[in-house]
Structure 1
Amino acid sequence: MARQLDEQIVARYPVGQRLRVLDVGMGQGTQALRLARAGHNVTGVEQDAEMIAAAREALSREPEGIQSRVRIVQGDGHQTGVHFLPGSFDIVLCHGVLMYVEEPDALLAGLARMLAPGGLLSLLVRNAEALAMRPGLSGDWQGAIDAFDSDTYRNRIGVDARADRLDALSATLAGIAAPLQAWYGVRVFTDTLRDGEPLPAEWDFDALLTAEERAGRTDPYRRVAALLHLCGVRD
């Protein structure tokens, strides 16, 4: 997904321009630190105290110049209008957040208002049209049958979550003046692997990345990806 995001950034901004990035639901700060290392100014919003502590610990190990480019705000993504002025950011990331938001439209509208004209809104969501893939590939046939007509699922840490459909999100983005410009599939072939699980020794990691990258851009494969990466651009 990092390659996809970088591709969108390069396509829209001059090389070397220092961008203002808002990372909503920054977690442990992986994406925020990566973008700060690339020279951008990043503000991370996170409500979980443990995640914030982990992000601050990771940031403390970075050179001072990178540390100075990262700001961490404890809060909820719905509160961006409290902390920031409209149009304050060139890029807004919301990765792995919408699945825990029951009604995401208000959150998305608030995030779009944070974007300057031409700004990029990057979303990573669970793909509702592929919820049967993980249980089916794992041999859980009843789980696959139950998933066909569902927009909810139980994730790997036992939390009930929600999935989104491409057409519905595309309509939402158009309605908040950040219409969809590009979308990708993420985890087409590897969703049965658990997070942090080591890859089998015989696997060719570079070939795996190449296959996933190509599948994530190609129909029909990207439509059955576990996750969808959507990129909207502010009118």
Structure 2
Amino acid sequence: MARQLDEQIASRFPVGQRLKVLDVGMGQGTQALRLARAGHEVTGLESDPGMLATARSALEAEPEGIRRRVRLVEGDGRDTGVHFLPGAFDVVLCHGVLMYVAEPDGLLAGLARVLAPGGLLSLLVRNGDALAMRPGLAGDWPAALAAFGTDTYTNRLGLRVRADRLDALTATLAGIGAPLTAWYGVRVFTDLAPDDAVLPAEPEALLAAEERAGRTDPYRSVAALLHLCGVRG
């Protein structure tokens, strides 16, 4: 996903431009810190105190130059209008958040509002068109059958959450003035790998296969996650 994001940034902005980035629901700050190391000014928005503490700890371990480029804010992604001015950011990330939001249209409209013209909106969502894949590949046939025709699923934390369908999100992005320009699949071949799985001897081969599948039909359509990129008009 990081490679996909870098590809979209490189296609939209001049090389070397320092961008203003908002990471909504930044979690432990993986993408925020990665982009700060690349020279960008990053604001991380996170509502979970534990995640925010982890991100702060990781930031404290970075050199001073990187720490100066990162601002951490405790808050909900639905409150972007409270924290930020319209058009304040060149890039807005919202990765792994929409599945926890029952009605995401308002949140998405708020994200588009804080994007500058020509700005990039990057979403990572659970693929609602392929919810039967995980239980089916695991041999859980009752769960696979139950997944057809639904937009909800139980995640690895045991929470009942929501998935998004490509067609519906495409229409939503067009409606908020940040139409879809590119989309990828994420975790096509590796969705069943446990969180503590040992990396293979040649991880680059795994990444290359996932990256190729993530941009190739029909493989990307059955990925566990979808990475959608829209551009503010």
Give the TM-score band, short-chain normalised: over 0.9
What letter is aligned with 1:222? Answer: R
For 2:49, give the aligned amino acid. A
Distance in 1 (CA, whole Å) between partners of 2:158 and 2:198 is 21
- Normalising to structure 1: TM-score of the pair? 0.98
Deviation at 1:195, TM superposition (A): 2.2
- CA drift of 1:150 comes to 1.1
**What is residue 86 of structure 1 aligned with on the other side?**
86
Counterpart of 2:139, as a letter, is G
TM superposition outliers: structure 1 runs of 4+ over 4 Å: none
Residue 51 (1) aligns with residue 39 (2): no
Q: State the AA in 2 paired with 1:106.
A: G
Task: Return the letter of the residue paired with 1:218.
Answer: T
CA distance in 1, matches of 2:65, 2:55: 16
For the residue of structure 2 that corresponds to 1:107, the secondary structure is helix
1:204 to partner: Cα distance: 3.2
In 1, Cα distance between the equivalents of 2:155 and 2:51? 19
Partner of 2:68: 68
Render the CA deviation track for 1:112-171: whole Å, top value 9, x for unaligned. 000000000000000011110100111101110000111000001101110000000000
Q: Does 1:228 align with 2:226?
A: yes
Give distance in 1, aligned partners of 2:172 and 2:192. 30
C-alpha separation in 2, matches of 1:196 and 1:109: 36
Aligned position for 2:212: 214
Aligned residues: 233
AA matched with 1:157 = L
TM-score of the superposition, structure 2-length normalised? 0.99
Report the AA paired with residue 206 of structure 2.
L
1:105 and 1:218 map into 2 onto residues whose CA distance is 28
Identity %: 76
CA–CA separation in structure 1 for the residues paired with 2:223 and 2:49: 31
Does the alignment pair 1:21 with 2:38?
no
SS in 1 for 2:80: helix
Measured in 2, the distance between the counterparts of 1:209 and 1:184 equals 14
Q: CA RMSD in A?
A: 0.8
Structure 2: runs of 5+ lacking an equivalent:
none
| Cα displacement (A) at 1:206 | 1.5
Instruction: State the shift of 1:207 in Å.
Output: 1.3
Match status 1:101 vs 2:97: no
C-alpha distance in 1, partners of 2:125/2:195? 16
Alpha-carbon distance in 2 for matches of 1:144, 1:204: 32
* Structure 2 SS opposite 1:181: strand
Structure 1 residue 194: deviation in Å? Answer: 1.9
> Unpaired runs of 5+ in structure 1?
none
Give the distance between the partners of 2:196 and 2:223, measured in 1 at CA. 19
1:198: Cα distance to partner? 1.9
